[in-house]
């Protein structure tokens, strides 16, 4: 099996895995199948290994730590080092436009700025001091966000669209695990890559960070592809003839050309494959994030919003077997209003009392 087939097989597996995870996360029956598979798998793996794995996963995803921030910066540094060491030098020799070559560095500067802002910015933490302010911003829909509900951890009234981050049972099943241990206004999700919640006050930074990260990966992929194509054209590689495994003369086709370039420039082709996969993944997630912003939804609301159970509905209270009601997004007010709310977070307006 040659390099190109292996790479395409790997790309297909990654994309299928991501699509499967997204589908399973929204389908309760598939969730049950996944849990059943995990239980079967746990019977095969030794208990000591299971405990070690659970401790590691608990530390990575259910505690605040800088592991993914360090990993993010290391991977980004390795990609840019390879780009500078290989692509930038070769492209200068081939007289590529300097504007295209420095574009990834400009995107990197913007990306790191908004990455830092996303990491350190207050996402909209709800406290005793601002509880009443947040309660006035969004309307309660009495389905996903009913009135007069208190957070059992913070002991604060929960404003509409807020959520506590995060209250789940840990690997020992005897303690409560908390990531940030605070309620967040307009909670979207907790991002391990920035070690912070994404909420009303830093979603704008997160979107720009995500956009520049996607753009930088795509730009490096385009420049690297342009370099390899230009090299093949200048060197007339596509007109070369080689001898195949049966001793016959063959004109160099695309598959053989890619394998030849991989053997000649292995690090460049490997980096190109990596940034291509990264561009697809980040681009898909970027489209999803823009869809949420355009429709004024959060990831938390999208995940729970297909069938929201009206806990305070009299019919449900009288009949537990009643059908769940379809959740309707009452917070969307048109594309531009929704986008403005992301970049200019909503604040309550007060009327001054006349003396």
> CA-CA distance, 282 to 347, in Å (whole number)?
31
> CA-CA distance, 53 to 56, in Å (whole number)?
5
Torsional class of 142: left (φ above 0), alpha (ψ -120 to 50), beta (otherwise): left
> CA-CA distance, 206 to 208, in Å (whole number)?
6
Neighbours of 255 (CB within 10 A): 12
Set 91, 119, 191, 197: catalytic member: 191
Q: Is 180 a catalytic residue?
A: no
Furthest-apart CA atoms within the chain: distance in Å: 99
Q: Where are the alpha helices (DSSP H) in the chain?
A: 3-26, 28-44, 47-61, 67-82, 89-93, 98-120, 131-135, 203-234, 254-264, 266-294, 299-304, 314-318, 335-343
Kindly list the catalytic residues: 191
């Amino acid at each position: 099996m040659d390099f190109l087939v292996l790479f395409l097989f790997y790309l297909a597996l990654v994309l299928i895995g991501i699509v499967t995870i997204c589908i399973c996360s929204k389908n309760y029956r598939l969730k049950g199948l996944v849990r059943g598979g995990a239980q079967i798998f746990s019977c095969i793996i030794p208990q000591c290994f299971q405990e070690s794995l659970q401790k590691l996963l608990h530390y990575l995803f259910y505690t605040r730590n800088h592991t993914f921030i360090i990993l993010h910066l290391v991977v980004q540094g390795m990609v840019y080092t390879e780009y500078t060491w290989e692509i930038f030098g070769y492209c200068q020799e081939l007289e590529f436009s300097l504007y295209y070559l420095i574009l990834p560095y400009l995107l990197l500067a913007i990306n790191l700025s908004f990455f830092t802002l996303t990491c350190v910015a207050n996402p909209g933490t709800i406290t005793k001091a601002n509880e009443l302010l947040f309660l006035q911003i969004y309307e309660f829909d009495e389905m996903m966000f009913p009135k007069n509900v208190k957070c059992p951890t913070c002991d604060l009234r929960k404003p509409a669209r807020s959520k506590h981050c995060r209250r789940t049972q840990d690997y020992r099943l005897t303690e409560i695990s908390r990531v940030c241990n605070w309620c967040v206004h307009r909670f979207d999700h907790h991002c391990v890559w920035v070690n912070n919640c994404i909420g009303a006050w830093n979603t704008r930074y997160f979107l720009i960070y995500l956009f520049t990260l996607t753009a930088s990966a795509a730009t490096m992929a385009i420049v690297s592809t342009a370099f390899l194509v230009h090299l093949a054209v200048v060197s007339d590689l596509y007109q070369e003839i080689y001898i195949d495994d049966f001793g016959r003369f063959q004109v160099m086709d695309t598959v053989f050309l890619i394998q030849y370039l991989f053997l000649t420039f292995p690090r460049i082709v490997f980096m190109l494959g990596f940034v291509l996969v990264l561009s697809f993944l980040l681009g898909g997630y970027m489209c999803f994030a823009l869809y949420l912003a355009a429709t004024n939804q959060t990831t938390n609301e999208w995940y729970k919003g297909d069938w929201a159970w009206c806990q305070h509905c009299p019919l449900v209270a009288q009949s537990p077997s009643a059908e769940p009601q379809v959740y309707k997004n009452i917070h969307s007010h048109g594309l531009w209003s929704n986008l403005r709310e992301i970049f200019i977070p909503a604040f309550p307006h007060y009327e001054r009392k006349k003396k």
